[in-house]
C-alpha cells in the first residue's frame, strides 16, 4: 500500500477495536481466524487488508459481503458515516518463512512451535485488518491451541480451560505489533516493580534457558529501572514476556508485552563476552522500543528512524550505564560502526529520516546500518550538544503529547525546541535529511589540515565536533579537541607518528587512516591501553581498505601485532571474519598470510586466560584460518586445543566446517555428525558444511535450496549460500556466476518476504573477483522484474564486489 492511500484511509477511519479468535488446532498447514473489527467512519470508499487461504464469510453490520470481491489482498468497502462492525471468518496459512504466523518443527524432538511476526505487511495473513501504522486500536485475542501448549501474546494470558487461552485487551497498537506465541515452550517467570516477567524457548532449549534466565532477568530489571528514570513514563503494556523463537529472521521484534527474539540468543554453547554484550544490547534495544515505537509510533515508514535509531542509541547507552557490560560502546564500535559507514557509502544510501519510502516493502530495504548505526551516532551527537537535561525533557514531552498515538520527525523536533534546544532545523537538514557521510582526511604537510569532503551526490555543510588521537615519539596517545566547520580546518603540526581522526566516535564520517599512520600502527597497536582507541584504529584501517587505499598486506601486518595484545574479544570476533572474507584472499601470498594469522591467533589463544571469552574468540580465528587437516582433526579429538577451551557443539561444527572447506571430510561423515546431535544448531551448521565441500554435488545441494527445488528453513537457506562460496574453489564455482544471473528470478519466486533478500545476498558470487563478474551483476541489478528486496541486496553486493576488485587491481592481485 502506498503512502497516499494510507493517508486517505486514515482520514476516513478511526479503528475502535479488534477482537481475534485463532484456532491453531485444525491443521498443520492452516488455522482458523475470526476477526471482529469495530470502526468509526466518515462516508466513503476504502478497503480491508486480507490474505487468506480461504474465506468462509464476511459480514458488514450483519449483512453478508460477497467474498469474491476480495482481490490481491484487498476487500473493497463502501462505508456510511457512523460506527460499523466487520466480521471476517477465514482460513489462514501457517507460514515457514519467518513471517505471518510461522510454524516450525524442532529437529531435536519433532515438536511444533508457532509465533506471529506481523512486521511491515504480514498481519493480513493472520487476521483481517487495516494494515498501516497510524490506525491503532486495542486488541482482544482468544486462542484455541493443542492441549499441552502454552500461549503468550501482547496481553496477559489466562488459561480458563484446557486448550483455550484468553489474552487481556491491550492498549492501542499498530497492526504490525500484534503477536501470538504458542507451542510446548519451556517457560520461566519472574516479577519486577509490579511488572510480570517471562521467558520462553523451545523445550529442547530448556536447560540452556534456565542457565541464562538469571542474566536475562537481571538485564531486564536493570533496563526497566533506567528507562523509567530517564523517560519518566512507566512501562505501559502490562506484563513483559521475552520469547526466544525458532527460525526468526530479525534479531528481535519489539511486540508490546511479548517481544520475540531469534532463539540462537539462548546460548547452548560457550560464547564470547562480545556476543553476550550483543545480546544484552538487543534486550535493551527492544525495551527502548516500548517507548520509541510502541508508545509513540511513526506515522509512516519514512520515519522509521524514530524507532530504530533511538532504540539503537538508548540500547547501547543503557547497557553501558547500568549493566555489567560497561564496555558496550567498544563492542558497538567493532560490530556496528563499519556496518553503518559502509551502508552510507553504497549507491543505495538514504537519509536517516524522511527516506522517501512510499510503501512498507520499500521501507524494509532501509532497515540497515544507516537507520541503526548512523542514526544512533547522530542521536549521540544531539544528546551531547543539547545536554541530557534538554534531550530527555524533549523526549518526555514527545511521549506525553503522542501517548499511544503516532508522530513525525517534526513533532519530535518541536518537543526538543520546547525543551530549550536551538538550531534543530539546520541540524536536521544536514544530518538527518541528507544522505551520505562526509569524508575527513589529514593533509599532514606543514602545520597540518583536516579536509572535509561531503559526498558529491549529497552536498552538505556539516559541523563535526570530534577529537584527534595523536601519538608521540614514545608511543603515548593524546586527545585534541577539534571543531570542523569548513572544507579546511588547521590542526597544527602533527609530527611523524600516527593520527586517528574521531576514534572515539564523537561524530559520523569516513575517517580513513593516512599512509603515515598505516605505516606505524603495527608498532603502536600493542601499546594502546584504551580499547575504544584500538577499535577506532581498526575502523580507520577498515575505512581505508574499503576505499582501496590500504594494502591487504598492511592490514595483516597490523593484525599480527594486535592479536597478541588485544584484551577485548569483540575485536577478534568481528575483525577476524572480515580479515578472512575480504582481506586474506587479496594478499600478495594468501596462503602465507592466512598461515601467519593462524599462528598469531593460536599463540594469542594459548597465552590468554584459560576458558576466557577472549581465548574463545581467538580460537575461533585460529580455526577459521587453519590449513592443516591433521591439526583440525586433533582438535576434534580435544587434543592440542588451547588449555581451557571447551569442545562443545558449536566449536565442533566450526572445525567440521573448516575441514569441509578444505575437502578433508566427506558428506557421509557430516551426516553422521548431524545424526549424533540433531539440534537446530546442528542442522544449520551441517548445511553450511555440506555446501562448503569442494565438489559439484555439494554445490548442487546448496543451489537446490537457493532455487527452491529443495524446501528448507530460512536459516539453512542462508547457511547454504554462505557455505557455498569458498575461496580456493574458483574453478569449481566459476559456472555458478552465470547460473546466479540466470536463476535469480526463479530463486526470488521460490521465496517470499525477508528470505528473498537474504537468499539473494547469501548466494551472491562474492569470491568471483573479476571485472566480468562486476559487469554481469551490474547488468542484472537493472532487471526491473526482480523484487525490490532482491534488487537492493544485489546492488549492495555488487558495490562490495566492485570495491574488492579495486583493491585487487591497486595492490597487484588482479
Distance CA 484, CA 463 (A): 5
Contacts made by residues 549-553, CB under 8 angstroms, sequence distance 24+: 549/512, 550/512, 550/513, 550/518, 551/810, 551/811, 552/583, 552/584, 552/586, 552/587, 552/588, 552/593, 552/807, 552/811, 552/813, 553/587, 553/588, 553/593, 553/811
Distance CA 806, CA 548 (A): 6
Of residues 216, 432, 396, the one with CA closest to residue 295: 396
The cell for 707 is 532455487
> What are the strands, taking DSSP E only, across 208-365?
240-245, 252-253, 258-262, 296-298
Distance CA 246, CA 117 (A): 12
User: Any catalytic annotation for residue 549?
Assistant: no
Tell me if residue 38 falls in helix, strand or coil: strand
54, 90, 317 from 70: Cα distances, Å: 10, 12, 47
Name the region of 72 (left: φ>0; alpha: ψ -120 to 50; beta: rest): left
> Cβ distance 364 to 253 under 8 Å?
no
The cell for 525 is 597497536
Cβ of 535: how many Cβ atoms within 10 Å?
Answer: 28
Distance of CA 96 to the CA centre of its chain: 20
> Cβ distance 376 to 317 under 8 Å?
no
Catalytic annotation, pick one of 286, 312, 505, 650: 286
Distance CA 143, CA 120 (A): 23
CA angle at 52 for the pair 51 and 55, rounded to the nearest 5°: 125
Distance CA 632, CA 680 (A): 24
Tell me if residue 34 falls in helix, strand or coil: strand
Stated as kind and residue range, the H or E segment containing 215 is helix 206-231
H-state helical runs in 608-666: 613-625, 629-636, 649-662
Tell me if residue 668 falls in helix, strand or coil: helix
Q: What is the 3-state secondary structure (H, E, C) of 250-270?
A: CCEECCCCEEEEEHHHCCCCC
Buried b (16+ CB within 10 A) or exposed e, 597-628: bbebbbbbbbebeeebbbbbbbbbbbbbbbee
114: β partners: 103, 182
What is the residue-wise DSSP string for 591-618? HHHHHHHHHHHHHHHHHSPTT-HHHHHH
Buried b (16+ CB within 10 A) or exposed e, 556-573: bbbbbbbbeebebbbbbb
The cell for 228 is 523509567
Distance CA 591, CA 600 (A): 14
407: β partners: 298
> Cβ distance 311 to 227 under 8 Å?
no
> Cβ distance 242 to 538 under 8 Å?
no
Tell me if residue 409 falls in helix, strand or coil: helix
Distance CA 6, CA 483 (A): 43
Name the region of 579 (left: φ>0; alpha: ψ -120 to 50; beta: rest): alpha
Cβ of 668: how many Cβ atoms within 10 Å?
Answer: 8
**Given the C-alpha cell 571447551, which residue does it identify?**
646
Active site residues: 286
Amino acid at each position: 500500500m502506498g503512502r497516499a492511500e494510507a493517508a486517505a484511509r486514515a482520514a476516513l477511519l478511526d479503528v475502535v477495536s479488534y477482537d481475534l479468535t485463532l484456532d491453531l488446532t485444525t491443521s498443520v498447514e492452516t488455522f482458523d481466524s475470526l476477526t471482529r473489527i469495530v470502526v468509526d467512519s466518515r462516508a466513503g470508499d476504502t478497503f480491508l487488508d486480507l490474505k487468506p487461504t480461504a474465506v468462509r464469510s464476511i459480514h458488514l453490520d450483519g449483512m453478508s459481503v460477497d467474498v469474491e470481491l476480495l482481490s490481491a489482498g484487498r476487500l473493497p468497502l463502501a462505508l456510511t458515516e457512523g460506527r460499523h462492525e466487520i466480521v471476517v471468518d477465514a482460513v489462514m496459512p501457517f507460514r515457514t518463512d519467518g513471517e505471518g504466523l510461522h510454524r516450525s518443527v524442532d529437529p531435536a524432538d519433532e515438536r511444533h512451535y508457532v509465533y506471529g511476526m506481523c512486521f511491515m505487511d504480514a498481519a493480513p495473513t493472520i487476521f483481517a485488518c487495516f494494515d498501516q501504522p497510524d490506525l491503532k486500536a486495542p486488541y482482544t485475542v482468544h486462542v484455541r491451541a493443542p492441549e499441552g501448549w502454552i500461549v503468550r501474546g501482547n496481553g496477559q494470558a489466562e488459561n480458563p480451560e484446557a486448550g483455550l487461552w484468553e489474552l487481556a485487551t491491550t492498549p492501542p497498537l499498530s497492526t504490525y505489533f500484534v503477536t501470538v506465541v504458542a507451542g510446548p515452550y519451556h517457560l520461566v517467570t519472574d516479577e519486577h516493580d509490579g511488572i510480570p516477567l517471562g521467558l520462553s524457548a523451545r523445550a529442547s532449549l530448556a536447560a540452556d534457558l534456565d542457565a541464562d534466565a538469571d542474566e536475562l532477568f537481571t538485564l531486564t530489571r536493570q533496563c526497566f529501572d533506567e528507562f523509567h528514570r530517564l523517560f519518566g513514563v512507566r512501562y505501559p503494556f502490562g506484563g513483559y514476556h521475552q520469547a526466544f523463537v525458532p527460525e526468526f529472521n530479525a534479531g528481535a521484534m519489539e511486540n508490546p508485552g511479548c517481544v520475540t527474539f531469534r532463539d540462537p540468543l539462548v546460548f547452548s554453547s560457550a560464547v564470547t563476552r562480545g556476543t553476550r554484550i550483543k545480546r544484552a544490547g538487543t534486550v535493551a534495544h527492544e525495551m527502548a522500543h516500548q517507548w520509541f515505537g510502541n508508545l509513540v509510533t511513526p506515522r509512516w515508514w519514512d520515519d522509521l528512524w524514530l524507532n530504530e535509531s533511538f532504540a539503537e542509541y538508548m540500547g547501547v547507552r543503557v547497557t553501558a550505564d547500568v549493566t555489567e557490560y560497561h564496555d558496550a560502546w567498544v563492542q558497538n564500535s567493532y560490530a556496528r560502526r563499519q556496518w553503518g559507514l559502509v551502508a552510507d557509502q553504497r549507491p543505495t544510501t538514504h537519509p536517516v529520516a524522511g527516506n522517501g519510502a512510499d510503501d512498507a516493502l520499500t521501507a524494509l530495504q532501509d532497515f540497515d546500518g544507516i537507520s541503526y548505526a548512523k542514526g544512533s551516532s547522530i542521536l549521540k551527537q544531539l544528546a551531547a550538544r543539547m545536554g541530557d537535561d534538554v534531550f530527555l525533557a524533549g523526549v518526555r514531552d514527545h511521549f506525553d503529547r503522542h501517548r499511544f498515538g503516532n508522530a513525525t520527525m517534526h513533532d519530535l523536533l518541536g518537543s526538543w525546541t520546547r525543551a530549550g534546544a536551538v538550531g534543530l532545523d539546520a541540524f536536521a537538514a544536514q544530518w538527518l535529511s541528507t544522505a551520505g557521510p562526509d569524508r575527513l582526511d589529514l593533509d599532514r604537510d606543514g602545520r597540518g589540515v583536516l579536509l572535509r569532503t561531503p559526498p558529491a551526490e549529497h552536498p552538505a555543510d556539516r559541523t563535526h565536533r570530534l577529537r584527534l588521537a595523536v601519538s608521540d615519539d614514545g608511543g603515548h596517545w593524546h586527545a585534541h579537541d577539534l571543531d570542523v566547520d569548513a572544507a579546511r580546518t588547521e590542526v597544527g603540526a602533527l609530527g611523524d607518528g600516527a593520527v586517528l581522526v574521531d576514534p572515539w566516535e564523537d561524530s559520523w564520517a569516513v575517517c580513513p587512516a593516512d599512509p603515515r599512520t598505516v605505516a606505524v600502527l603495527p608498532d603502536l597497536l600493542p601499546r594502546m591501553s584504551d580499547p575504544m582507541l584500538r577499535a577506532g584504529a581498526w575502523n580507520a584501517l577498515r575505512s581505508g581498505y574499503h576505499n582501496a587505499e590500504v594494502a591487504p598486506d598492511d592490514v595483516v601486518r597490523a593484525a599480527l601485532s594486535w592479536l597478541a595484545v588485544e584484551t577485548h574479544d569483540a575485536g577478534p570476533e568481528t575483525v577476524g571474519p572480515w580479515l578472512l572474507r575480504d582481506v586474506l584472499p587479496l594478499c600478495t601470498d594468501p596462503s602465507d598470510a592466512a598461515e601467519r594469522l593462524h599462528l598469531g591467533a593460536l599463540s594469542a589463544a594459548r597465552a590468554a586466560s584459560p576458558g576466557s571469552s577472549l581465548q574463545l574468540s581467538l580460537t575461533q580465528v585460529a580455526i577459521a584460518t587453519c590449513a592443516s587437516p591433521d591439526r583440525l582433526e586433533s582438535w576434534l579429538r580435544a587434543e592440542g586445543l588451547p588449555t581451557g577451551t571447551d569442545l562443545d557443539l558449536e566449536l565442533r561444527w566450526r572445525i567440521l566446517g573448516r575441514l569441509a572447506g578444505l575437502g578433508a571430510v566427506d558428506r557421509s561423515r557430516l551426516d553422521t555428525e548431524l545424526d549424533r546431535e540433531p539440534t537446530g544448531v546442528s542442522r544449520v551448521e551441517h548445511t553450511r558444511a555440506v555446501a562448503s565441500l569442494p565438489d559439484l554435488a555439494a554445490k548442487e545441494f546448496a543451489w537446490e535450496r537457493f532455487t527452491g527445488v529443495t524446501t528448507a528453513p530460512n536459516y539453512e537457506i542462508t547457511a547454504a549460500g554462505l557455505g557455498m562460496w569458498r575461496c580456493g574453489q574458483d574453478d569449481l564455482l566459476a559456472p555458478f556466476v552465470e547460473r546466479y544471473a540466470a536463476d535469480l528470478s526463479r530463486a526470488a519466486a521460490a521465496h517470499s518476504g525477508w528470505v528473498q533478500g537474504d537468499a539473494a545476498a547469501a548466494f551472491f558470487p562474492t569470491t568471483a573477483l573479476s571485472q566480468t563478474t562486476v559487469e554481469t551483476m551490474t547488468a542484472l541489478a537493472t532487471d526491473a522484474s526482480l523484487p525490490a528486496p532482491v534488487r537492493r541486496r544485489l546492488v549492495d553486493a555488487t558495490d562490495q564486489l566492485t570495491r574488492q576488485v579495486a583493491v585487487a587491481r591497486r595492490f597487484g592481485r588482479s
